[in-house]
Chains A and B, each alone.
Chain A
Amino acid sequence: MNMIEAINSAMDVMMERDPDVVVMGEDVGYFGGVFRCTAGLQKKYGKTRVFDTPISECGIVGVAVGMGAYGLRPVPEIQFADYIYPGIDQLISEAARLRYRSAGEFIAPITVRSPFGGGIFGGQTHSQSPESLFTHVAGLKTVIPSTPYDAKGLLISAIEDNDPVIFFEPKRIYNGPFSGYYDRPVEPWSKHAASNVPTGHYRIPLGKANIVRAGEALTILAYGTMVHVAQAVVEANGIDAEVIDLRTLLPLDIETIEASVKKTGRCLIVHEATRTSGFGAELSALVQERCFYHLEAPVERVTGFDTPYPHSLEWAYFPGPIRIGRAIAKIMKD
């Protein structure tokens, strides 16, 4: 399966298992979603379980919170993460705080799926990576898969989780892993081991990172598309890096991070999102606090620049192989 099919399969499995799971969003019903993630679901489960919504992110999230309060397990889709902002009051003020403010009497077991990230010439409003807006919110979990296998297992865990989960899907790697070498052809997922996705139910626990490449020279912390970009750079340059795919940003797998950095003594953080106050800042601070006496070089961050996402200058903006390679060289020099 590619990532789209894996995500579709996760929803299919969960709708089959749990009659309280409902899927909703703009164009997700009859049409099957602009990225085909919900294709076939309405036909299989009917219009009252998979349905199109008005173009209102505030409404989509707010209605999902109410459905959750009733006892359903809604899986709303926001068509692009760039368009999640009208729903952000409902996410931050309501979904995230429902359990806390009612002392557990009401919960919001919702999973907000949304395609995110750049690398597709999406310009300013089809490329953003707003994950740090959500990791900053007490009460929200934020999950970002990097392979079809992980996408399905993580999405099933998210839907089953009783806390609200923001599930960002890196649309750049929906059809195949992207190396960051934009001038080379992208391989489809079918040539990748992680496309072997079981058709049935399985989980990947939230809050658990994945060491995608073991190494001794330095630790690279990444998630989503950047896992593949970082790996490609490491392979191309023959660097013995340990690449960790965080998979869940909050709650974070601090044990895996800490063990790795204490082993390697060096740490590079890579994300597409803009730099200032991005999630990399939190990662950097945690590594510094917890691994200070093991560090042999300053923690580096390779990120998007602090600008809105540009259209024509995409490959100058994108934190690709050159920027990552230079950062690794800098870390290894010390």
Chain B
Amino acid sequence: MADGPARSNLQPLALHVPEPRSRPGDPVDFSDVIVPAAGSLARPDEAVSPHDMRELAFGLVRVLDDDHQAVGPWDPRLSDETLLKILRTMALTRAFDERLYRAQRQGKTSFYMKCTGEEATSVAAAAAMQGDDMVFPSYRQQGILMWRGYPLTEMVNQIYSNRGDKLKGRQLPIMYSVPELGFFTISGNLATQYPQAVGWAMASAIKGDTRIASCWCGEGSTAEGDFHSAMTFASVYNAPTILNVVNNQWAISSFSGFAGAERTTFAARAIGYGIAGIRVDGNDALAVYAATQWAAERARANKGPTLIEHFTYRAEGHSTSDDPSAYRSAQESSEWPLGDPIHRLKSHVIARGIWDEERHAAMDLELAEMVKAATKEAEKNGVLGHGMHQPFETMFEDVFEELPWHLQEQMAQALEERAAKWPK
């Protein structure tokens, strides 16, 4: 009964449908974003009970203050060398995104996704892990590959689905797979990597290994059932895992309210599972590093999993197929209260006296040239075009370890069709 009679003596129920504070054309309103002073939260021992982490789950761990100084107990006290390497890797990630975004616009590939504004959530997190710890990324953690030194040309080969693509042109661009660097094959299905990471960590524990696993998803994907499954299994088996939620405020056109952000923080969800939860300023590379380091040490000491919410902002469109001006205020990204992760770390190292504008500008030029050289190198293997870069038979390989008869027959069919479809 869609239009049943209401009882007039009772207040009618009302459905709440979340609405972001500003839409296209509106002035930006970030009044609900509370930015506590850097250094204001305590850093408990890694063995702390999740019950005693309420302030960390609802607050915001910040290290870099308004004067670009690293302050408070969460300052990871990194060496000059490490700070500059994190800065350089974040800048490389951005340079790579800029160029490959243009490559998509030029028709060299079908698709690309930037991580602009979120570079710290992958680069600084990877920096705080061991190189052989396994990562289960979503599609916006290309910074991990940059940190772990994956050749740029290999990345571009994958994006171009060309002859050099070791995934044989089977995967949508940016769905990398790099086992030798502990980087799990990226899936288009959201949050599936969450229980998989927990399973990998459980396997590591079953075998008495010392490696831990880490996974990432966006705040939108926390609504998937896999998130709940992963949190439950991680908690039940005390799995040595770091569960990262990159809260960049937007899931394509849906603001974080549609994932439940109006009522609580994402880090606070950990409390209900009995998991350690930390909410960090995701645009503060030092805070991201410190939280990851804390969580990694906790996991390695068999004290259990940690959920880290990286509070950040998706500065650009969801993908090359998206136009954010259709659903959000154009000024949002420039007025985001937590600023830009690269600019903030740059200001810190300048304030520290180990960097300057000239060197930074020179580095940006150098990185842009490096990325350009990598794309040129990859273009020698071809760009996306008609799926013709891989031998036809590769389409049928790796479905199973061995080719069953029905795939052998279909492979023969495809090879026969080639002559008719593409005569020489």
Contacts and interface: CB of A to CB of B under 8 A. Distances in A.
Interface in A229-257: 250-252, 254
A94 B225 contact: no
A292 interface: no
A158 to B, nearest CB: 13
Interface in B175-191: 175, 177, 179, 184-185, 187-189
Interface stretch (A53-61, A169-177, A187-195): A53-61
Q: Which of B195, B205, B225, B232 has the most CB of A within 10 A?
A: B195
B166 A103 contact: yes
A146 B7 CA distance: 61
B166 A70 contact: no
A300 interface: no
A5 to B, nearest CB: 27
Interface residues of A, number: 48
A56 to B, nearest CB: 5
B132 interface: no
A58 B195 contact: yes
Contacts of A64: 199
B251 interface: no
Interface stretch (A85-93, A196-204, A324-332): A85-93
A66 interface: yes
A63 interface: yes
B41 to A, nearest CB: 32
Given A59-B233, A101-B187, A105-B177, A69 B170 contact: no
A284 B202 CA distance: 44
Interface in A91-109: 93-94, 97-107
B198 interface: yes
A141 interface: yes
A63 B195 contact: yes
Interface in A52-83: 53-54, 56, 58-59, 61-72, 74
B195 A101 contact: no
A105 B186 CA distance: 12
Contacts of B197: 66
A48 interface: yes
B422 interface: no
A169 B187 CA distance: 30
Interface in B189-221: 189, 192, 194-207, 213
Contact of B400 (A49, A69, A139, A252): A139
Contacts of A48: 205-206
A62 B170 contact: no
B179 to A, nearest CB: 5
B404 interface: yes
A139 B399 contact: yes
Given A70-B204, A100-B170, A106 B189 contact: no
Contact of A94 (B187, B198, B206): B187
Contact of B225 (A58, A102, A104): A58
Nearest to A70: B203
B399 A93 contact: no
Contacts of A97: 187
Contacts of A161: 401
A62 B213 CA distance: 14
A78 B400 CA distance: 23
Decide if the interface of chain A is mainly helix, strand, loop or mixed. mixed
Contacts of A98: 185
B398 interface: yes
A322 B203 CA distance: 51
A55 B143 CA distance: 36
Contact of A56 (B170, B179, B233): B233
B177 A106 contact: yes
A229 B3 CA distance: 53
B233 A251 contact: no
A62 B192 contact: yes
Given A100-B170, A101-B171, A59 B232 contact: yes
A86 B225 contact: yes
A207 interface: yes
Given A62-B229, A67-B202, A94 B192 contact: yes
Contacts of A106: 177, 179, 184-185
A273 B229 CA distance: 30
Nearest to B395: A100
A27 interface: no
A32 B355 CA distance: 63
Nearest to B241: A66
B406 interface: yes
A90 B195 contact: yes
A58 B229 contact: yes
A22 interface: yes
Given A54-B233, A63-B196, A99 B177 contact: no
B189 A102 contact: no
Contacts of A74: 199
9 nearest interchain CB pairs? Answer: A66-B199, A62-B195, A63-B199, A59-B229, A66-B196, A70-B203, A251-B404, A102-B185, A66-B200
Given A63-B202, A69-B200, 18 more contacts: A48-B206, A56-B228, A62-B230, A63-B196, A66-B196, A66-B201, A70-B204, A72-B206, A89-B192, A90-B195, A93-B187, A94-B187, A102-B179, A103-B398, A138-B399, A139-B399, A139-B400, A141-B400
